[in-house]
Structure 1
């Protein structure tokens, strides 16, 4: 079974974020350089480094020079870079609107499927494909929560369902009745779980949450609100 990632231990402290920003270039830094850059004591830098190492936001490399004691130099990780990256909301909104504006429906759907597949596989890589569906769904729910997507798994008859209590992308859905984002989520979750799921309840249709349940038909699932069949391959 693939190990489940450790949950974050709360929000990052402002002083720790300051250190990450100082390391954003991706180069190796020593304690002395960071002390000078941040104008704080070496003890303060070491405390921040220990917290960030524990969260996987930086890593360290041993440096041996001559007969002296080895020292360490530190570099920001890819996860750390994501935390310090600029807000990508405007970029995501622009790209989403451009996707929806593609006039050729076949091309538009192919692009959306590609996006869903890529996102879904990122989750699937962290799930045990041999585990029961309900267990995979619960691990997926925890992964979603780590990305600030509020979700719960409940039992509905013989099969589990995944409830998402608030739209994870409200600025992209923009309050309209368009279900394109709903269909994208449906395909992402299907790819992640390795089993087609269908949107059985939707907030856009007045339901209390968006609910995804295993599709009755293994190849297609009907999305509420638009009467069309959403592909989940």
Structure 2
């Protein structure tokens, strides 16, 4: 988290957990010199936001102590050079390759990703495969959910992603988002996939309508 401003209490808690790996609410309160009640309130908010995880540790016969640590999403709140490297690499490729070859490189990468997804999803029902796909995307930092699409026959579904794990890349290379759409289509070849919402257009989520092919 950039120190360009005075950190909020939540940011201070996240920074402490980054440095220490894990800590109890009492240890956090002591380290930050704030009340235990305030710490517990902030920890509850951070858990709701998916930024921290907790684990109950039993010591002896007493009540379990809860230890808190950053989730994958919580770690993503801190600066990383990975996105900058990816953007710089794509910049170099776009300068070195003709446009068609550059597009071919992107398409090849997304086809490989789709093949990986298909292997992981298996041959279950569409609902089961979409739940698994949402879980895979969630693990990659996309904050993905899947829900039934209302008033659709045959039944259809919507995958919603509230966070873009490749946002920095997409801002510099919007064409990457077109390949994201193709990624879902190739992952689910028995479905028609349509984008319904787009973060890059200023909306608060990306959405994809997944409909079985007739």
TM-score (normalised: structure 1): 0.51
Task: Tell me which of 158, 178, 187 is aligned to 2:182.
Answer: 187
Q: How many residues align?
A: 161
Give the corresponding residue for 2:13. 19
Task: Tell me the residue number matched to 1:227.
Answer: none
Give RMSD over aligned pairs. 4.4
Contact 2:156 2:209 in 1 (8 A): no
Of 40, 43, 48, which aligns to 2:42?
48
The residue that corresponds to 2:203 in the other structure is none
- The CA deviation string for residues 109-138 of structure 1, in whole angstroms up to 9 with x for no partner, is 24542246538949950258xx978833xx
Kept in 2: contact 1:20–1:84 (CA 8 A): no
Match of 2:108 in 1: 113
Cα distance, 1:50 vs structure 2: 1.2
Match of 2:163 among 122, 130, 147: 147
The 1:113–1:213 alpha-carbon spacing in structure 2 relative to 1, beyond 3 Å, is farther
In terms of fraction of residues, the more helix-rich structure is: 2
Question: Unaligned 5+ residue runs, structure 1?
Answer: 1-12, 149-167, 174-179, 200-211, 219-233
Query: Does 2:207 match 1:169?
Result: no
